Amino acid sequence: MATTESGSRLLHEVRETAHDLRSAGLISKRRLDEYDVLCRADDSQLPALDIRQLRLQAQMSQAVFAAVLNVSVSSVQKWESGEKKPYGASLKLLNLVKRKGIEVLLC
């Protein structure tokens, strides 16, 4: 099974579990909505120049941007040069920053 299929299956299971927890009265409707949003978060790939632009718009060095994303400086450098592509949680965070701004991670 490909990584994206596995990731989709995992996200489906998380959403299903959250709905079951809500049905059992163990989590609030608001918390369920938060899980739904996170599971549906856009995980489309970002070009290297877009990643660099996100960092520059945030007015952050690569080191600070890496710390905010909880990744290595080397990862940010490789993403921005196109040597590697972000995936998983890092990609989701980058897409979140693209949609909502860096402030969403700083609160």
What CA–CA distance (Å, rounded) separates 2 from 11?
Answer: 14
Topology (CATH level 3) of domain 48-106: 434 Repressor (Amino-terminal Domain) (1.10.260)
User: Are the beta carbons of 55 and 62 closer than 8 angstroms?
Assistant: yes
Would you give the DSSP letter of residue 25? T
What CA–CA distance (Å, rounded) separates 22 from 6?
Answer: 24
Map out the domains of the chain as residue ranges. 3-40, 48-106
Q: Which residue has the higher pLDDT, 94 or 42?
A: 94
What CA–CA distance (Å, rounded) separates 75 from 66?
Answer: 8
What pLDDT digit, counting tens, does each position of 41-80 carry? 556 789 999 999 999 999 999 999 999 999 999 999 999 9
Residues with Cβ within 8 Å of residue 13, at least 6 apart in sequence = none
What pLDDT digit, counting tens, does each position of 1-44 carry? 334 444 567 778 888 898 999 999 999 999 888 888 777 655 67
